[in-house]
Structure 1
């Protein structure tokens, strides 16, 4: 079937506000409307881990070190892997939902298969978490800290499947344009986490392990609330009944291609999921390597403290780009699934304009408040002085990182997660870390050397990613989206 940028393949009254005559203003309003709840969700969800560290950390110095170490380990080895895997749903679900040749229940089928893949991933992650204490000992952590951190990680094991369910169901709702549902759920879950953590740590015999138990209870509460929203409010229309084996005829659920265990259907999913894991994890792993390296600098504790302030700041300033990036991914995916390449291109360009504005504002705020910024986190004068020296470089890094993050969202909507993954791997492991360590330890630039290398690499990645997006063949991407979704509907 021949497709041109103006070929209408679905009715003008299309879902999610997609239409052939969309304007830049309409795309801006849509982006703002749906990015805001995502930003709030991101902030609330990130608070769950922070509350656990704060609650347990007030018990003593060893408990603080152990909770921080365990939280980092859980995020890097488990939660990041889940988030990277579910990036495939940004593509598959958003494109399938607006493809008129595709039964809407294919969206839920993609989620079911993603959950099966996550279940397989959980087996090695669970084994790693169970023996986390041994890992910490190998990393030469103090014995008491290693023991406490290991227990913390073990108690977090039940949270892993809950986190996978929550992230997958959240992607399913976002593909349908239901961006506010996870925010509503987190408005209940986040306060519950604070109260549960405080009560279990300070008012029960559980003490230290009360923090991870509270986190586990919170994640399962989030799943239950989200399932309740889907069943009783909106979103259940895309969920098929579980059908394990492949079939050659339509089932009563309306999905008649392949079941959850149709192994051939996992090939296109894995082509998106594996790059997604690399995209998310490569950045987190790099930051942890840098955190370890900051302890090898001559001024030791000062550089480690400054690095902690800087990384926390980078995460803070990524909240808005995160929301815009997820919104852009779903908007582009929906437009391509609906065979509206012109609108997909307009949505992408709108997101890039928003990226530049957000990145400029974030970088400017950090730069102009550089002399006092560190006082938000510490009263140590040496740390404050070092942070103020490094922040001009970090501000430029944030500019590039914010733009690259939103551009990656556009690529995810297209189904080109591999582009961002390769750029990240090259930026961090072939450029930033080798150059940064050379500048830091050989030329004695210290922490500034590491962040100068990161700045150069991420600016390069931002420019390269923008060029890839702008040079996209949107007609071909629409064809790819139709083929990707229609593979599931060819026998309906």
Structure 2
């Protein structure tokens, strides 16, 4: 059954304390964290399975996976951040037809279809892109074929991400987790069978990923249709109250694009920066390149819990604002910030205290271990700032202020971190540690600034914006 984040306006709404908000956040962040972990495993399985065929295949699978994530998957995920705002606020707005939630998803899918055209064009010629970047011809050819096969999975991934936002706005956080609990094991089995027990070989890995994405999309659709969540989906003969603007009405896309474009920048700017740093670490030397790989993987692992908390917080705040409960939204936001500090402190402490043992989880190369151990204290502080900023960004997404996080990220990575990091690394000879010192300083500043923006929010004004945003859907055509 649906368990709305904020009760409907037709139901008596009770006041929530900090303790109750904390309990709710813990309960609903757990399935989000599980979903994120399972979803991240899909790309990893493809790389591992294909990589065991040989060093060339490993390099090609890793390169292709990175390229697909940076140019396509992260773009889709950034775009769907707009639904954290639009769907969660519309769902609890008593003056708004709930089927507007599904209408937002339909529009997002239309926009993603248009956005996919240039992405797919780049993916089709990926081998030529890799050659231009100076990759080994054999690696470039294999990686290009991997990316080309992945084209078939992009529509399914976009559908899954969009529908996932729709069910989360209704409080159905466990639905994507249930689906991924089926999809993730299927991906492992399919990858193993297609790569090692058919004539497909290397190409079996992306085909398995494509099949998994379609399975996820179809299972989530089945859950929505046969279990819960379909009540917000407008069918083809839907006649909206007061003439809600239609899916193909170009005027309706303005508000969505104002949220979607900053969302893309918010997600992609960080991923692109990490790839630039990966290239720079290769210029330093092979040891630094190996150490950077371990560090980036560690950062991703320790971002799992903050990601889940951020998604839950975005929907909680959005639902509260849509229900015209600014005090409720403020309490939810402050609870999220407290959780951010706790989670960030635990993650940073674990990485700092076990920095040497942690490095051995990834490699036995003593030079790499030594370098990783030396840089991890700095990375631990970076993780604290990154975790806090990530959860605070979730609150801002619930408000519909994705642009704040986007501008902070762009400034942090491209105005300060990369220029300062390269100066410390190559001019002052600090090596890889110089890059991460710059990242640490920038993300701490971003964390403080993002938290300050959240705490200084005018919640009555944000509640009014949420009402106007949803009510604009009900205007006459």
Q: Which TM bucket (shorter chain)?
A: over 0.9
| CA–CA separation in structure 1 for the residues paired with 2:348 and 2:16 | 31
1:255/1:30 Cα in 2 relative to 1: closer, same or farther (>3 Å)?
Answer: farther
Deviations 1:376-425 (A, max 9, x none): 00000000000000000000000000000000000000000000000000
- The residue that corresponds to 2:306 in the other structure is 321
- The residue that corresponds to 2:181 in the other structure is 187
Relative to structure 2, which stretch is displaced further, 253-262 or 381-390?
A: 253-262
Identify, as 1 or 2, the structure richer in helix: 2
- The residue that corresponds to 1:109 in the other structure is 103
- The residue that corresponds to 1:5 in the other structure is none
- The residue that corresponds to 1:13 in the other structure is 12
Alignment of 1:242-321 (within 5 A): 242=236, 251-252=238-239, 256-297=243-284, 300-321=285-306
| CA–CA separation in structure 2 for the residues paired with 1:459 and 1:144 | 42
Deviation of 1:252 (Å): 3.6
Deviation of 1:490 (Å): 3.4
| CA–CA separation in structure 1 for the residues paired with 2:392 and 2:178 | 27
The answer to whether the 8 Å contact 1:240/1:255 transfers is no
| CA–CA separation in structure 2 for the residues paired with 1:160 and 1:223 | 11
Deviations 1:453-475 (A, max 9, x none): 00000000000000000000000
| CA–CA separation in structure 2 for the residues paired with 1:65 and 1:342 | 52
- The residue that corresponds to 1:27 in the other structure is 21
The answer to whether the 8 Å contact 1:106/1:255 transfers is no
Mind listing any 5+ residue stretches in structure 1 that lack a counterpart? 1-7, 244-250
- Say whether 1:423 aligns with 2:417: no
| CA–CA separation in structure 1 for the residues paired with 2:225 and 2:349 | 44
Deviations 1:22-42 (A, max 9, x none): 100110011000000000000
- Say whether 1:207 aligns with 2:206: no
Task: For residue 157 of structure 1, give the secondary structure of its aligned residue in structure 2.
Answer: helix
Mind listing any 5+ residue stretches in structure 2 that lack a counterpart? 1-6
Task: For residue 158 of structure 1, give the secondary structure of its aligned residue in structure 2.
Answer: helix
Task: For residue 151 of structure 2, give the secondary structure of its aligned residue in structure 1.
Answer: coil
- Say whether 1:351 aligns with 2:336: yes
Alignment of 1:9-408 (within 5 A): 10-11=9-10, 13-14=12-13, 19=14, 21-242=15-236, 251-252=238-239, 256-297=243-284, 300-408=285-393
| CA–CA separation in structure 1 for the residues paired with 2:361 and 2:182 | 27
The answer to whether the 8 Å contact 1:241/1:253 transfers is no
Deviation of 1:13 (Å): 2.1
The answer to whether the 8 Å contact 2:8/2:92 transfers is no
Deviations 1:232-258 (A, max 9, x none): 000000000147xxxxxxx54658321
Task: For residue 371 of structure 1, give the secondary structure of its aligned residue in structure 2.
Answer: helix
The answer to whether the 8 Å contact 2:314/2:394 transfers is yes
| Pick aligned residue for 1:455 from 422, 440, 447 | 440
Deviation of 1:170 (Å): 0.1
| CA–CA separation in structure 2 for the residues paired with 1:137 and 1:412 | 38
1:370/1:95 Cα in 2 relative to 1: closer, same or farther (>3 Å)?
Answer: same
The answer to whether the 8 Å contact 1:242/1:259 transfers is no
| CA–CA separation in structure 1 for the residues paired with 2:286 and 2:223 | 47
| CA–CA separation in structure 1 for the residues paired with 2:327 and 2:476 | 29
| CA–CA separation in structure 1 for the residues paired with 2:414 and 2:452 | 22
Relative to structure 2, which stretch is displaced further, 210-219 or 370-379?
A: 370-379
The answer to whether the 8 Å contact 1:363/1:396 transfers is yes
Deviation of 1:192 (Å): 0.2
Deviations 1:17-71 (A, max 9, x none): xx3x210011001100000000000000000000000010000000000000000
- The residue that corresponds to 2:3 in the other structure is none
Task: For residue 261 of structure 1, give the secondary structure of its aligned residue in structure 2.
Answer: coil
Deviations 1:56-108 (A, max 9, x none): 00000000000000000000000000000000000000000000000000000
| CA–CA separation in structure 1 for the residues paired with 2:196 and 2:282 | 32
Task: For residue 257 of structure 1, give the secondary structure of its aligned residue in structure 2.
Answer: coil
Task: For residue 202 of structure 2, give the secondary structure of its aligned residue in structure 1.
Answer: helix
- The residue that corresponds to 2:463 in the other structure is 478
The answer to whether the 8 Å contact 1:37/1:183 transfers is yes
- Say whether 1:437 aligns with 2:431: no
Deviation of 1:322 (Å): 0.2
| CA–CA separation in structure 1 for the residues paired with 2:242 and 2:80 | 21
| CA–CA separation in structure 2 for the residues paired with 1:255 and 1:118 | 27
